[in-house]
């Protein structure tokens, strides 16, 4: 069950990061940009859940908070990489 919590927290971090970025930009909602953020958040959630299940398996509050922050960081990094291209 802890692995599921870590995956959900990481996914949620990516989605929150995407929503806050959209709100702060002042632009109209663009579904294509949001869909790419959702995809990055799903990948982050899967990667962190897999890594977490291999590492320990018992989720604490700190583990969930770290996964949330990491999901948000992956989304922010993805946007910066996309702007470089």
pLDDT tens readout for residues 44-68: 888 888 888 787 766 678 888 888 8
Q: Which residues of 47-61 are buried (b: 16+ CB within 10 A; e: fewer)?
A: ebbeebeeeeeebee
Residue 59, sorted as left (phi over 0), alpha (psi -120 to 50) or beta, turns out to be: beta
Query: The pTM is what?
Result: 0.77
Q: Which domain holds residue 7?
A: 2-84
Q: Is the pLDDT of residue 85 over 70?
A: no
Residue 75 in contact with residue 40, Cβ under 8 Å? yes
Q: How many domains does the chain divide into?
A: 1
Cα separation, 73 vs 13, in Å, equals 8
């Amino acid at each position: 069950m802890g692995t599921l919590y870590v995956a959900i927290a990481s996914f949620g971090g990516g989605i929150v990061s995407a929503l806050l970025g959209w709100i702060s930009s002042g632009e109209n909602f663009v579904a294509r940009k949001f869909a790419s953020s959702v995809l990055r958040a799903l990948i982050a959630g899967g990667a962190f859940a897999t890594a977490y299940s291999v590492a320990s398996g018992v989720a604490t509050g700190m583990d969930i908070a770290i996964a949330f922050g990491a999901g948000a960081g992956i989304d922010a990094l993805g946007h910066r990489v996309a702007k470089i291209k």
